[in-house]
Amino acid sequence: MQIRDVARKPLRPFIESIGTLNPYEEVSISAEVEGILKTVKVDEGTVVSRGMLLAAIDDVDYALEVKRAEAALRQTQATLENTKLEFRRKDALYKEELVTKQQYDDVTTRLALAEAEVERAKAALSLARVKLSKTRIHSPIACVVKEKKISAGDFVKNGTSLFVIIQPNPLKLRFTVPEKDVAKLKIKQDVLLKVDGLPGSEFKGKVNIIFPHVEERTRTLMVEALVPNDSGILKPGLFAKVILYTGDERDTIVVPVTALLYEAETVKVFTVEGDRARERLVKLGSKYGELMEITEGLKEGEKVVTAGQQNLSEGVKLSVQPAVPENPTPGKQQATSENMNQKPEAPGAEQNEKPSKGR
Residue 330 predicted with pLDDT over 60 = no
Smallest Cα–Cα separation from 173: which of 244, 123, 116, 275? 244
CATH code linked to domain 60-133 = 1.10.287.470
Cα distance between residue 307 and residue 82, in whole Å:
104
pTM of the model: 0.66
Residue 328 or residue 172, greater confidence: 172
The class level of CATH for 24-59+135-165 reads mainly beta
Smallest Cα–Cα separation from 160: which of 140, 142, 176, 137? 137
Residue 305 predicted with pLDDT over 60 = yes
The full DSSP string for 14-63 is EEEEEEEEEEEEEEEEE-SS-EEEEEE---TT-EE-TT-EEEEE--HHHH
323 — pLDDT class (breaks 50, 70, 90): low
Beta-ladder partners of 22: 172
Taking only the tens place, the pLDDT of each residue in 82-94 is 999 999 998 898 8
Residue 339 predicted with pLDDT over 50 = no
Residue 128 predicted with pLDDT over 90 = yes
In the chain, residues under CATH classification 2.40.420.20 are 250-344
- State whether residue 118 is helix, strand or coil: helix
Query: Cα angle at 174 between 180 and 290, to 5 degrees?
Result: 55
In the chain, residues under CATH classification 2.40.50.100 are 24-59+135-165
Q: What pLDDT is stored for residue 320 in this prediction?
A: 58
Smallest Cα–Cα separation from 86: which of 45, 114, 128? 114
Q: What pLDDT is stored for residue 94 in this prediction?
A: 83
Beta-ladder partners of 242: 17, 193
Taking only the tens place, the pLDDT of each residue in 54-64 is 999 999 999 99
- The stretch 26-48 carries a mean pLDDT of 96
Taking only the tens place, the pLDDT of each residue in 132-167 is 999 999 999 999 999 999 999 999 999 999 999 999
- The stretch 221-228 carries a mean pLDDT of 96
235 — pLDDT class (breaks 50, 70, 90): very high
User: Looking at domain 250-344, which of 2.40.420.20, 1.10.287.90, 3.40.50.880, 2.60.40.3880 is its CATH number?
Assistant: 2.40.420.20
Length of the chain: 359
In the chain, residues under CATH classification 1.10.287.470 are 60-133
How many CB atoms within 10 Å of residue 116?
12
| C-beta of residue 142 within 8 angstroms of C-beta of residue 48 | yes
Cα distance between residue 243 and residue 257, in whole Å:
18
Q: Say which DSSP state 248 is in.
A: -
Q: What pLDDT is stored for residue 78 in this prediction?
A: 96
| C-beta of residue 131 within 8 angstroms of C-beta of residue 57 | no
In the chain, residues under CATH classification 2.40.30.170 are 171-245
Q: What pLDDT is stored for residue 336 in this prediction?
A: 34
Q: Cis check for the bond before 170: say yes or no (omega within 30 of 0).
A: yes
How many angstroms separate the Cα of 282 from the Cα of each of 191, 254, 276, 290, 298?
Answer: 30, 11, 19, 17, 7
Residue 5 predicted with pLDDT over 60 = yes
**Assigned fold of 171-245:** Elongation Factor Tu (Ef-tu); domain 3 (2.40.30)
- Lowest model confidence (mean pLDDT) among 39-43, 117-121, 184-188, 309-313: 309-313
Query: Counting beta carbons within 10 angstroms of the beta carbon of residue 313, is it exposed (0 to 12), middle (13 to 18) or buried (19 or more)?
Result: exposed
